Amino acid sequence: MLGDISRVENIYLVCGYTDLRKSIDGLCAVVEEVVKQDPKSNALFLFCGRQCDRFKALLWEGDGYVLIYKRLDAAGRYRWPRSNQEAKSLTWQQFDWLMSGIDIEQPKAIRAHYG
């Protein structure tokens, strides 16, 4: 199915700013250079620009790339890590938080059980 992200094994977020004018080839180069991964791996790669109200996602589907572009309406903003040009591996829960506008670092969300 076109753009089915439910099958991906890994989700990578590229921290910092990415020039969203980049096309698929430019984003593949970022994946190789920054994330140090093969863009044709079974992973979803996320990129955000300076305004934090839009992002691009790159997904390989076996026979070609799918480029997903989302722009929020009104004053919505994503809570994108801006530390530097590195990549973060996300869990599905963190991905859900990010898409909901919540910070992906939630230290109190998961508590360790001590036995």
**Mean pLDDT, residues 2-8 taken together:** 86
Q: Are strands 43-48 and 10-14 parallel, antiparallel or unpaired?
A: parallel
pLDDT of residue 51: 85
Q: Which residues contact 31 (CB under 8 A, 6 or more apart)?
A: 12, 14, 37, 38, 39, 45, 58
29, pLDDT greater than 70: yes
Task: Report the alpha-carbon distance of residue 57 to residue 93 in Å, rounded.
Answer: 17
What's the whole-model pTM score? 0.83
pLDDT of residue 19: 93
Q: Which two tokens stand for residue 44?
A: 């979803």
pLDDT-based confidence at residue 32 (cuts at 50, 70, 90): very high
pLDDT tens track for 43-102: 999 999 888 888 999 999 999 999 999 888 877 777 777 776 678 889 999 888 888 877
pLDDT tens track for 99-112: 887 777 765 555 55
Cβ 45 vs Cβ 12: under 8 Å:
yes
Task: Name 56's bridge partners.
Answer: 47, 69
